[in-house]
Amino acid sequence: MTAFPILFVCLGNICRSPLAEGVFRHLTEQGDRASSYLADSAGTGGWHIGNPPDHRSVKVALSHGIDLSGLRARQIVSTDFERFSLILAMDKNNLADLRKMAPPASRSNITLFGNYAFGDETEIPDPYYGATSDFEQVYSMLLTGCRSILAKLEAARAS
């Protein structure tokens, strides 16, 4: 079976989306499903291209056994809309930007992370200007959401 490609997107690809990528990968590795999914992350903006995730995202991830050290920020590119079946935006601004960037022929499912994970309009808040506790809150939201997303994807693949 082909690996299902999923892309997590935030503004700069240094806080939320790399943490979501790390959490999702960690969950698939725990369930021996890593080869079933291709998880990646990107930003709608290009300010941090090539930089590692924010040190607070790295710290929170490490405290939960997740290593983000190999990740580097990148900006979404047009081929991402061909490559990824599911593109999840962390907030409504990112979602609007993604929909503007998507080529007309894109068949990617571009939606809000909270919509796919929780079935509502929950946004994952940007912790960049906050404290470590804000990053911990984001981690908790992403963990719950990624568990839900993985369960939905697994159910869809099984049917």
pLDDT category at 32 given cuts 50, 70, 90 is confident
| Catalytic residue check, 83 | no
Instruction: Give every CB contact of residue 34 below 8 A, 6+ residues apart in sequence.
Output: 25, 28
Catalytic residue among 16, 25, 56, 74: 16
Rounded average pLDDT over 4-26: 98
DSSP lists the bridge partners of residue 87 as: 7, 110
pTM: 0.97
Domain span at residue 110 reads 4-158
Inform me whether the pLDDT recorded for 1 exceeds 70.
no
DSSP lists the bridge partners of residue 86 as: 6, 109
| Catalytic residue check, 146 | no
- Tell me how far CA of residue 143 lies from CA of 16, 17, 78, 104, in angstroms: 11, 12, 28, 32
**pLDDT one-digit tens code per residue, 49-59:** 999 999 999 99
**What is the number of structural domains in the chain?**
1
| Catalytic residue check, 10 | yes
pLDDT category at 158 given cuts 50, 70, 90 is confident
| Residue 87 main-chain phi, psi, to 5 deg | -120, 120
Q: What is the CATH number of the domain that holds 150?
A: 3.40.50.2300
DSSP state of 75: B
Catalytic residue among 40, 54, 80, 126: 126
**pLDDT one-digit tens code per residue, 62-119:** 999 999 999 999 999 999 999 999 999 999 999 999 999 999 999 999 999 999 999 9
Instruction: Give every CB contact of residue 136 below 8 A, 6+ residues apart in sequence.
Output: 60
Catalytic residue among 10, 54, 56, 97: 10
